[in-house]
Amino acid sequence: MRRYHILAGGAVLLLLAGLALSCPARCECSAQSKSVSCHRKRLAAVPEGVPIETRVLDLSKNKLRIITPDNFSSFHLLEDLDLSDNLISVVEIGSFRSQLALRSLNLRSNAIQLVPAGVLAGLGNLTGLDLDHNRLVVLLDHAFQDLRKLASLQVGDNELVFISQRAFVGLSGLQSLTLERSNLSAVPTEALAHLHNLVELRMRHLSIALLKPFSFKRLSRLCRLELDYWPWLDSLPPLSLHGLNLTQLFLTNTNVSAFPGAALRHLPYLTHLNLSFSRIEHIHQGELGHFPHLTELRLQGARLLSIEVDAFVGLVSLQLLDVSQNRLDSLERGVFASPDALHRLCLGGNPLVCDCRLLWLLNSHKPPSLHLLDLQPQCSAPEYLSGKTLRELKEPLVSRYMTCSEPRIGANATQLLMAYEGQPARLSCAAEGAPRPSVVWITPHRRYVTAKSSGRVEVGADGTLEIKAAELHDSGLYRCIASNPAGNASLWASLAVKGLGGRDGLRGSNRSSNYMANSSSGSGSSSSSTWGNGTVLYNMTVPIDIKTIIISTAMGCLSFLGVVVFCFLLLFAWSRGKGRHKSNFDIEYVPRKSNGASAEAAESSGPRRVNMKMI
């Protein structure tokens, strides 16, 4: 061992003397930095005459095809070796055996197909290895075994199909790994699990379509995960990131269409979240959860249509929000937990409706520390402000045009409806206002039904409550509340469901409940139903207002159904019509007691009064 040192020392001395002379023919050498550059010299082999004390050797952009143990065996002091952009397809085992001091090895852009165990043996001080843009198809077990100090590994732009479970064994110092542009069809979970000290993982341009639960396990030090350009990924399942404790997550250029709230919930320490260029359309209230440390949220170029009020209440430290290039028509102040903490906002490139909801972003109103970045947000409506940037908006334009109007619910406001069990029923609530009011229906059982609800009872786009198949316990009083930032309006509607076997939902409506109504308009309805015991089917437009019936009667063109409807209306009016005026009925009813659910509602509120208007 000692003899070897003396020998090597001797050689160094010898060559130091002749340094000025020793530089390969076409290369440039610097004695001071002990570097040799043979960049782009069309070399087909490692040139003769490289000084053996060379520390930095650049052989990039040449025509090297093979690396053998002889090539670098005499350069014990080599720290930086650049072999990128050659034609290397074979690196023989032991080629870097004597490069104990090597820190950086660049093999990028070659034609390497395999890294067998042993090829990189000896590189105990290597910190950076670049294998990007080669022809690696698999990474074999123990390929990087000796690289204890390797901090950064790049194996992108290969055709990697498979990473063996033990490929990364020994990379105990690895902090940053980039896996990009490969043919992997799944996250190499088992292989990655050996990287206990990994801090950054970048996986870009992959065609992985599915993230399995616990895809990234035992990566307890991982802080930053970048999944960029995964065009096939359409969701982030709840447990897919479980086990990680990230501070930065990039999930960008994906096909993810719903906000991945459940998957993120396990990452309470997140400070930066980038979900740009996804297909997320809505962020609902409460969906994001609580991220007390999140300072930056980016959702640029997604397909955002709405961010609900209170959507970001869990983001108490949010300083930057980028929602530029989306389809948002507004961004309400109430979206944020603390709008005053927000410093930077990117809102450009959205079709903004400049009404009262955006007042808080005008220079005169906005929190003093808030800056609007990038493109200045522009109004696309109302017409008069279209094309103007928020910065330009001043009085008197503001008080004249940046306004909202309270919701108003259409004229045929109060409804009394009856439906047969099993038949659909619709209660309308056509609300107008600017911005368009959102509608919530409260059922007799105090359930809130909104446009987001799904199931047997839903709210349609126009605010109509749609019961797909009425059940007896649906009978009762419904309330529709339409609200927008300017205020709210409400409306009551009552529904009586008539059972087919003579049972019904409302005790007081046993007779008159054969009268069918379709609430979608006050003046006519089109129904199809069975009639009593028999099976008389009718399907026609039935005018249910008295005037029309009287006119029809007078004209003598009364159908069987018309007669029936007319009789029921008379019956109805007669039996309930104590407080009858010219065009109003006052009806008092008590929900059916035998029906458990409606009885509850009745007990709490007693008999109710309904005002029914006939046009």
Question: Three-class SS of residue 567?
Answer: helix
- Contact (CB, 8 A) for 596 and 445: no
Q: Which of 213, 231, 532, 579 binds ligand NAG (CB under 6 A)?
A: 231
Tokens for 451?
A: 């446009």
Task: Give the number of residues in contact with ligand NAG, rule: CB under 6 A.
Answer: 35
Q: Which stretch binds ligand NAG (CB under 6 A): 7-15, 29-37, 230-238, 554-562?
A: 230-238
- Contact (CB, 8 A) for 124 and 146: yes
Please tell me whether residue 424 binds ligand NAG under the rule CB under 6 A: yes
Beta-carbon count within 10 A of 557 CB: 9
Closer Cβ to ligand NAG, 80 or 159, answer by number: 159
Q: Which stretch binds ligand NAG (CB under 6 A): 90-98, 268-276, 503-511, 578-586?
A: 268-276
Q: Which stretch binds ligand NAG (CB under 6 A): 67-75, 243-251, 468-476, 575-583?
A: 243-251
The one-character DSSP state at 597 is H
Cα R_g (the chain), whole angstroms: 37
Closer Cβ to ligand NAG, 330 or 423, answer by number: 423
- Contact (CB, 8 A) for 15 and 32: no
Residue 158: exposure state from Cβ atoms within 10 A (0-12, 13-18, ≥19): buried
The phi, psi pair for 490, rounded to 5°, reads -140, 165
Tokens for 580?
A: 């009858």
Instruction: Report the DSSP pairing between strands 379-381 and 152-154.
Output: unpaired
- Encoded one letter per residue, x for contact with ligand NAG by CB under 6 A and - for no contact, window 172-201 reads -----------x------------------
Closer Cβ to ligand NAG, 62 or 134, answer by number: 134
Closer Cβ to ligand NAG, 245 or 510, answer by number: 245
**Which residues, 6 or more positions from 578, have their beta carbon under 8 angstroms from its beta carbon?**
586
Q: Which of 53, 82, 180, 228 binds ligand NAG (CB under 6 A)?
A: 228
Please tell me whether residue 247 binds ligand NAG under the rule CB under 6 A: yes
Please state the closest distance from residue 525 (CB atom) to ligand NAG, in A: 6
- Encoded one letter per residue, x for contact with ligand NAG by CB under 6 A and - for no contact, window 470-509 reads -----------x-x---xx---------------------
Please tell me whether residue 269 binds ligand NAG under the rule CB under 6 A: yes
Q: Say how far apart CA 360 and CA 331 lie, in whole Å.
A: 10
Residue 291: exposure state from Cβ atoms within 10 A (0-12, 13-18, ≥19): buried
Query: In 231-268, at which residue ranges do the beta strands (DSSP E only) sit?
Result: 248-254
Closer Cβ to ligand NAG, 277 or 478, answer by number: 277
Of 293, 180, 286, 189, the C-alpha closest to 244 is 189
Q: Which stretch binds ligand NAG (CB under 6 A): 11-19, 82-90, 274-282, 428-436?
A: 274-282
Q: Say how far apart CA 515 and CA 38 lie, in whole Å.
A: 95
Closer Cβ to ligand NAG, 152 or 245, answer by number: 245
- Encoded one letter per residue, x for contact with ligand NAG by CB under 6 A and - for no contact, window 516-545 reads --x-xx---xxx------------------
Binding site for ligand NAG (CB under 6 A): 100-101, 124-125, 137, 159, 161, 183, 228, 231-232, 234, 245, 247, 250, 252-253, 255, 269, 274, 276-277, 298, 424, 426, 481, 483, 487-488, 518, 520-521, 525-527
